[in-house]
Amino acid sequence: MTIVSNNNEETAPFWKTKSLDDMSTREWESLCDGCARCCLNKLEDWDTGEIVWTNVACTLLDGDSCRCVDYENRAATVPDCIQLTPGEVRTLTWLPPTCAYRLVREGLDLYWWHPLVSGESDTVHQAGISVRGKTVPEDGMELDQYEYHVVTWPGELPGGD
């Protein structure tokens, strides 16, 4: 998406010109590409601090749309849900390499399939970036069963990018 000024000169999109702290709420929320990788449960090794991904999805994740079914009230249902803020984005080590918040933090551009670039919300799914069709629900699963669902793909870049 390119923003055009009144004098028809093209200007850079907001994610290239603004820091995470300077974005409006609307801009911040639009950075989320809808991949839902951050909505997967992760396991942390208590001894090493290493984080590993699982394909176990949060109870509030709609597996088809890859969106939270109760985004505004998610913390009430899922107390350990981490709300991404500029401060969190600067400190979290597990944000996937495709995450727009991470990319902007690192001074990198968004990928072609990001809705802000493609102009279409479905390209994140078409490119195979989202978790659509790749998860199992956490509902009814015991925590000790998560280790049987460890996956690496959420922390990887897709082929060809």
pLDDT, tens digit, 9 for 90 and up, residues 5-60: 455 457 899 999 999 999 999 999 999 999 999 999 999 988 998 999 999 999 99
Encode pLDDT of 67-81 as tens digits. Answer: 999 999 999 999 999
Which pLDDT does position 5 carry in this prediction?
47
| Residue for token pair 């809808």 | 34
What is the predicted pLDDT for the residue at 161? 52
Mean pLDDT value of segment 1-8? 48
Tokens of 106: 């690192």
- With b for 16 or more beta-carbon neighbours within 10 A and e for fewer, the 78-107 pattern comes to beeeeebeeeebeebebbbebbbbbbbbee
**Where does the pLDDT of residue 132 fall: very low under 50, low under 70, confident under 90, or very high at 90 and above?**
very high
In this prediction, residue 160 has a pLDDT band, given cuts at 50, 70 and 90, of low
pLDDT attached to residue 8: 46
Tokens of residue 96, six digits: 């996937």
